[in-house]
Amino acid sequence: MPEGDTLYRVAARLRPALDGKELRGFEAKRLLGDKPKIGTTIESVEAKGKHLLISFSNQLVLETHLKMSGSWHLYRTGERWQKGSHLARCVIEVDEWVAVCFSAPVVKTHHGSADDVLSYLGPDLTSENPDLELAVTRFGECCSDDTQIGVALLDQRVACGVGNVFKSEVLAALRLDPFTPVADVSVGMRGRLIATAHRLLRANLRGGERRTVVQGLAVYDRKGKPCFTCGTPIAMRYQGEHSRSTYWCPRCVSSE
């Protein structure tokens, strides 16, 4: 599933082509909600965690969530698409450009402003100055005491932008056992987790191969390979209600 750094780059790529432009065409066959009217102006393109929000001048906001299968492509008008049109879930046409969202399971519109949409989400850790203290507070507000910290880090109500890759990498950076209950994680450690997630996400916004250590990724997708610190084989276990894969070094981690 694309994480916050990926959506940040998607918004950065679409923004120069769409921002401030009049809508010339719009198609979304499975859209939930109202269609934006042709001729309205696209006022903003922004990422919020794992969601992309496109705001129109008639107080309508398009939300897409790519989940595992979706992607946004940008083409010059008349340019051949790289994927079949049957996979297009949303097509936005402006002068000179066509933005196409392929295979996204969530494509819907909301009346109101971008600030109103997804207001339940925690601070966006891909942004330059998120409210890190609020995110720390939300651990206690959004998670039960027995929630495992690896699951809590994926809770977008706490802070948005962290996905499976950065979950494992943040915990590895702080040598914290992913299966530690939230109640056993001190406020200080919660703060370090959020600050580390913010730092690692921001460091990967420019694209290219994700990197959290000199060698690349410390633990993610490295099951059975030696830990860069101690040489112990990296372990993997499915965690939480949605059975998300978690990677860690059994020797390096602790429960604080």
108-158: per-residue pLDDT in tens? 999 988 788 888 899 999 999 999 999 999 999 999 999 999 999 999 999
**In sequence order, what DSSP letters do the residues of the chain get, joined into one string?**
---HHHHHHHHHHHHHHHTTPBP-EEE-TT-BSPPPPTTPBEEEEEEETTEEEEEETTTEEEEEE-TTT-EEEEEETTPPPSS-GGGEEEEEEETTEEEEEES-SEEEEEES-TTTTTTTS--BTTSSS--HHHHHHHHHHHS-TTSBHHHHHH-TTT-BS--HHHHHHHHHHTTB-TT-BGGGS-HHHHHHHHHHHHHHHHHTTT-SS--SBTTB-SSTT-BTSBPTTT-PBBEEEEETTTTEEEEE-TTT-B--
Q: How far apart (Å, rounded) are the C-alpha atoms in residues 248 and 234? A: 6
pLDDT in tens, 24-65: 999 999 999 999 999 999 999 999 888 999 999 989 999 999
Position 240 scores a pLDDT of 87
Q: Are 255 and 177 a contacting pair, CB within 8 Å?
A: yes
Of residues 207 and 89, more confidence is placed in 89
Residue 1 has pLDDT above 70, yes or no: no
Q: What is the mean pLDDT of residues 216-242?
A: 95
Residue 256 has pLDDT above 70, yes or no: no
Q: How far apart (Å, rounded) are the C-alpha atoms in residues 28 and 158? A: 31
User: According to CATH, where is 1.10.8.50 located in the chain?
Assistant: 132-248
Residue 107 has pLDDT above 90, yes or no: yes
Question: 4-111, superfamily in CATH?
Answer: MutM-like, N-terminal (3.20.190.10)
Which of 1.20.1740.10, 1.10.8.50, 1.10.3720.10, 3.40.50.2000 is the CATH number of 132-248?
1.10.8.50
User: Which distant-in-sequence residues (6+ apart) come within 8 Å of 47 by Cβ?
Assistant: 4, 7, 8, 10, 11, 53, 124, 126
User: According to CATH, where is 3.20.190.10 located in the chain?
Assistant: 4-111
Position 35 scores a pLDDT of 95
Position 255 scores a pLDDT of 56
Amino acid at 45: V
Share of the chain above pLDDT 70, in %: 99
